[in-house]
Amino acid sequence: MSRAIKVIFPTLNIEIQATLLEEQAPLTCDSVWKALAQPLEGSCRHGHDSGPELYVLMPPAPNLPDENSTLFPIPGDFLFYHYSGQLPRGEKMYDIGMYYDRGGASLLRVGWTPANLFATVTENLAGLQRVAKAIHETGPKPIRVERVN
């Protein structure tokens, strides 16, 4: 049975479920699964340059290779970004990008940035689209990402 994660937007009463793509991105899936031993809580924001993307920052991860990477995600794709961002001291940045509509591209401020496609929405893509609308209207929303047992 495939492992899955649940993405919860508590203030909007919306839950999304995504199935891990373990055959295509085994190292990334294992890394995300281990990181979610304790649920991740943070702030969900809308991507600036990537099109229809919501994202949440992740804690640092081990160095991962590019696996099942893409530049052009489709609706429902969850990408794990691990790149050198435009941070003051050149630190690496880690986040989960959640694509909710067509037209997404991994063209970030640092240039074209392939990311590891590690999961796909299997329940409630429409909910993710509603979250995007709410973020556009009123700003970032609390998010909780956890394992589905």
What number of other Cβ atoms are within 10 A of residue 54's Cβ?
Answer: 24
At 140, which CATH number? 2.40.100.20
List pLDDT tens digits, range 63-103.
889 999 999 999 999 999 987 655 556 667 789 999 999 99
More confident residue, 47 or 5: 5
CB 39 within 8 A of CB 143: no
pLDDT of residue 49: 79
CA distance 132 to 9: 11
List pLDDT tens digits, range 34-57.
999 999 999 999 987 788 999 999
Q: Containing domain of residue 94, as a range?
A: 4-148
H/E stretch holding 56: strand 53-57
Q: Which two tokens stand for residue 49?
A: 């340059």
| pLDDT cut 70: percent of the chain above it | 94
Number of structural domains found in the chain: 1
Q: What is the DSSP string of 72-132?
A: S--TTEEEEEEEE-S-TT--EEEEEEEE-SS----EETTEE--EEEEEEEEE-HHHHHHHH
CB 80 within 8 A of CB 90: no
pLDDT over 80 at 108, yes or no: no
